[in-house]
Amino acid sequence: MARAFTFILVVSFGLFIQAQEPDYLELVKSESQLKNHFDRLYSDTLSDADPLLDSIHAKMKGALSKVGSMDYPWNQLDRIGIIQSEDKKLKVFTWHVTDNPNQVRYFGFIQVALRKGKVKVYELEDNFKAQRGLFKLEQSAGDWYGKLYYQILSHKHKRKTYYTLLGMDFNDSRSTIKSVEVIMLQRNQLRFAKDMFFNGRDKVDRVVLEYSDRVSISVRYDPELDMITYDHLVPLHPVYERNFEFYAPDGSYDGLKFEGGLWNHRKDIDARNIN
């Protein structure tokens, strides 16, 4: 009887592997094709990116919709941004093309994990609108202020989970923009959250930092401080006030602390704690 039960288990496990194998092999095949597409996209010899972008869009959307794709590592796609939330419920893919120094297009998908390995896929559609100084805005997957996301953070408050995305927009030939914004899931529906940042006076929808393309700044989560830390930006000369292409770090740091369901602004973070 025990032998028969063992035999049934072995056969059942083998059938399970066979059932899963086609999807896995399809993901391996899709990854290889996408790697070739992205290698071509970022080569110096490509004259017209649009046909290739169409192929990438179709292949990516199909692959990310497959059962098991959420757990697939996509290690070969090292030319694009891929980040996953700590709770494994979200995975974000973003990439870009530079048409000219003043025109950059962004593309992306967000996967939402469902039951039994199934996923829901949201396409991020760049609205090509300027992001300068926009702290309050309507934003959705279909009306998205394009950027490359490079870090995702998860916080819970009153049974709600908030996913904070750190992103970068190359903007134009004179300035770069980094931003912090929050998305939420409501019944597996993705939405960009509003009024998540408190600057000491008002609640705003996101943080926007614009600075000269001749400098670099850090915007990242510091686990020791349990804060998002970033360089404090100032004009290089008072005459350049509000002219952000002439903004640069002054050597001090500000931060964002998640408290009471909000990101609260903190000034003058101790620079000795910034690695």
Q: What percentage of the chain exceeds 70 in pLDDT? A: 90
Looking at the structure of the chain, the number of domains it has is 1
Does a structural domain hold residue 55? Answer: no
Phi, psi (degrees; rounded to nearest 5) at 213: -70, -5
Task: Render pLDDT for 239-253 as a digit per residue (tens, 0 to 9).
Answer: 999 999 999 999 999
Does a structural domain hold residue 16? Answer: no
Residue whose tokens read 């931060």: 255
Which has the closest alpha carbon to 179: 234, 228, 249, 237?
A: 228
Give me the pLDDT at residue 148, please. 98
Does a structural domain hold residue 51? Answer: no
At 274, the pLDDT band (50, 70, 90 cuts) reads low
Compute the 3-state secondary structure of the chain and give helix, strand, coil in percent, each to the nearest 5: 25, 45, 35
Does a structural domain hold residue 186? Answer: yes
At 110, the pLDDT band (50, 70, 90 cuts) reads very high
Does a structural domain hold residue 14? Answer: no
Does a structural domain hold residue 212? Answer: yes
The residue segments making up the domain with residue 104 are 80-273
At 46, the pLDDT band (50, 70, 90 cuts) reads confident
pLDDT exceeds cutoff 80 at 86:
yes
pLDDT exceeds cutoff 60 at 26:
yes
Give me the pLDDT at residue 257, please. 97
Query: Average of pLDDT values for 18-33?
Result: 81
Instruction: Give the integer Cα–Cα distance in Å for 186 and 175.
Output: 35
Q: Which residues pair with 246 in a beta bridge?
A: none
Give me the pLDDT at residue 11, please. 40
Does a structural domain hold residue 188? Answer: yes
Does a structural domain hold residue 200? Answer: yes
Q: Which helix (H) or strand (E) holds 58?
A: helix 50-64
Give me the pLDDT at residue 6, please. 42
Q: What is the pTM of this model?
A: 0.89
Task: Render pLDDT for 138-162 as a digit per residue (tens, 0 to 9).
Answer: 999 999 999 999 999 999 999 999 9
Give me the pLDDT at residue 8, please. 42
